[in-house]
Structure 1
Amino acid sequence: MIATLGEIVVEIIAETPGVGFRAPQALVGPFPSGAPAIFIDQVARLGQPAGIIGCVGDDDFGRLNIDRLRADGVDVSAIEIVADHPTGSAFVRYREDGTRDFVFNIRHSAAGRTRITEAGRIVLAASRHLHVMGSSLFSPALIAAAQQAVAQVKAAGGSISFDPNLRREMLSSPDMLDAMASLLRACDLFLPSGAELTVMTEAKDETAAIREILGLGVGAVVVKRGAGGASYHDPAQTLHMAAFDAEEIDPTGAGDCFGATFVTCRLQGRGIADSLRFANASGARAVSVRGPMQGASSFAELEAIIGRAA
């Protein structure tokens, strides 16, 4: 089993491009979302045992997420339902240049109550790999839960992957960067996107940043570059894989699907090049569908994308 923990939210998307939410406008949603939830849904869609530890409200937004995750094969036994906090939400609007503005209600939602329950310990005990998202480290309680989960999985001989998934709207959270630095030192696989490499190090350029991260004992670094493809680095080799062509409709969740596919492929014994190829195909399909979890793919769908490009 692959496990993750953290925010389970709904996402609501502005239908027209622009800057922010300072005027009434048409919206579409709610879509099941949350970076850890997207990641683990993609894992399950690939047929890999998958479980998530999280918290939702006793409301339709929470039920929407649980129903979707369960239908796709995720173990939802460690999702706690709380009656006194609503399910978290994220409103997103795309700018003309493709960047995004978010309004989050996560820190004070049910997601902020996430903890390791007995059900969560059972899921972790069954897992040989744990994935942690930096976006989930938005409170001292979540940081403690992530550290507890990492310790349990590592003590049992499992591996850890870490995606910093930085959101400027959340970087004011107390101790978040310190927690990220701690997780970076603990992980076996680091999955940053572009500039996240240098944010997490003292280095001024990518080459030096990768050298610094590998010097911490991290086994491998995979840099997600969107339309620029992806690069794999370990102490012995570097490999770049070009992206697949895709019509970009909604990039939210593409990096989560990429990471989930790469991790799953490696745990299933696929080689590095094959794993990058499937991960790039997963990202390409994810951006071509509106809704952050709507583009999660099966291996058959990824093989079709790879086959068309051959």
Structure 2
Amino acid sequence: MKAMNKVWVIGDASVDLVPEKQNSYLKCPGGASANAGVCVARLGGECGFIGCLGDDDAGRFLRQVFQDNGVDVSFLRMDPALTSAVLIVNLTADGERSFTYLVHPGADTYVSPQDLPPFRQYEWFYFSSIGLTDSPAREACLEGARRMREAGGYVLFDVNLRSKMWRNTDEIPELIARSAGLASICKVSADELCQLSGASHWQDARYYLRDLGCDTTIISLGADGALLITAEGELHFPAPRVDVVDTTGGRRCFCRRPAVHPFPRKLLGSCPAGGSHQQCQCLRRYGGDGKRRNDRSAVSRPAKHFSVQPFAGASHDREIRSHHAR
């Protein structure tokens, strides 16, 4: 489906070094926001990236990836005085990942409110909490969200919490609250809900972001799919089973779908299903951008075979527990 309005993405962009074979790494474009922009463009949407990169080999590589995928780079600033972020992705046998940051803070944290473009009604603005870890990127993200809402557009906030990137973790609750209050849609994982709220079970914290002012919440549940919470109710979307190679791109492909769909609520319910489909395809490939080289299939196929079920509270909890017991 062709997007109706432009999606603006702001925030982190990095070169990810993903282990491919023993003693060798695959050079992949990375960063939650950068990959969001590429995913939106591959899904047929019009997307622009707002950011800052070093005018170095890594930065020029990332800019070329944007251009090759049709992402507008008119508001991507290249600064020769800064160094682009580079990190190593560490993978376990089952595809779970952790990160070793070789350059932090990178040039991407220097995007500022002065880099923001003018916004128009019905456009989208995407950012994640990674963009809130350092100034001036923090101010750029929050000001961009405020301006987009003021212009009559929509804001998608991906919590994507990485505590190790924060200089002062005491700042996290306030900044998450400010971001959620500006958001039309918040994407969060079950683990992140527990971490933010202090609850032992995500089910007890599922209204955490709604209570902070977010209109709609999408909770990713890993192998158990996703839960969509709106003013009209709650829907659970099961996920298909896949053989996981690398989880790095999973959440990024998952939460770009809502920004590509038009916003009417009658279509919003299809977003977690479509997002789960693209997420599952990404999990079967190396690298955070969901593909290897020119393979577009990871994010381009439509979702067709998803059953949608009303969220059943305690009975759903029992279903999840019984699944893990098998």
| TM-score (norm: length of structure 1) | 0.87
Quote the Cα distance in structure 2 between the aligned partners of 1:235 and 1:30. 43
Report the alpha carbon displacement of residue 65 of structure 1 after superposing the two structures with TM.
Answer: 1.1
1:20 is matched with: none
| TM-score (norm: length of structure 2) | 0.83
1:144 is matched with: 139
1:222 is matched with: 218
Q: Partner letter of residue 138 of structure 1? A: T
Q: 1:90 to 1:264 in 2, by over 3 A?
A: same
The one-character-per-residue Cα deviations of 1:179-214 (angstroms, maximum 9, x if unpaired) are 222102221211001111132335553333223432
The one-character-per-residue Cα deviations of 1:207-244 (angstroms, maximum 9, x if unpaired) are 33223432333111111122221110123211111112
1:90-129 map, 5 Å? 90-117=87-114, 120-122=116-118, 124-125=119-120, 128-129=123-124
Does residue 1:281 correspond to 2:277, yes or no? yes
1:57 is matched with: 54
Quote the Cα distance in structure 2 between the aligned partners of 1:91 and 1:168. 17
Q: Partner letter of residue 11 of structure 2? A: G
The one-character-per-residue Cα deviations of 1:94-131 (angstroms, maximum 9, x if unpaired) are 1235432311145332112211335x323x45871111
Quote the Cα distance in structure 2 between the aligned partners of 1:216 and 1:225. 21
Out of 14, 25, 36, the residue aligned to residue 19 of structure 2 is 14
Q: 1:286 to 1:181 in 2, by over 3 A?
A: same
Structure 2 portions without partners, runs of 5+: 1-5, 308-326
Structure 1 portions without partners, runs of 5+: 17-24
1:28-177 map, 5 Å? 28-117=25-114, 120-122=116-118, 124-125=119-120, 128-173=123-168, 175-177=171-173
Q: Partner letter of residue 10 of structure 1? A: V
Report the alpha carbon displacement of residue 85 of structure 1 after superposing the two structures with TM.
Answer: 1.6
Quote the Cα distance in structure 1 between the aligned partners of 2:155 and 2:66. 22
- Conservation of the 8 A alpha-carbon contact between 1:262 and 1:275: yes
Q: Partner letter of residue 304 of structure 2? A: I
Quote the Cα distance in structure 1 between the aligned partners of 2:208 and 2:59. 41
Does residue 1:182 correspond to 2:188, yes or no? no
Count of matched residue pairs: 298
Report the alpha carbon displacement of residue 10 of structure 1 after superposing the two structures with TM.
Answer: 0.3
Quote the Cα distance in structure 1 between the aligned partners of 2:45 and 2:213. 27
Greater CA drift, 258-267 or 205-214: 205-214
The one-character-per-residue Cα deviations of 1:235-270 (angstroms, maximum 9, x if unpaired) are 321111111232211110210111001332243876
- Conservation of the 8 A alpha-carbon contact between 2:40 and 2:46: yes
- Conservation of the 8 A alpha-carbon contact between 1:162 and 1:190: yes
SS in 2 for 1:181: helix
Greater CA drift, 267-276 or 162-171: 267-276
SS in 2 for 1:271: helix
SS in 2 for 1:208: helix
2:7 is matched with: 2
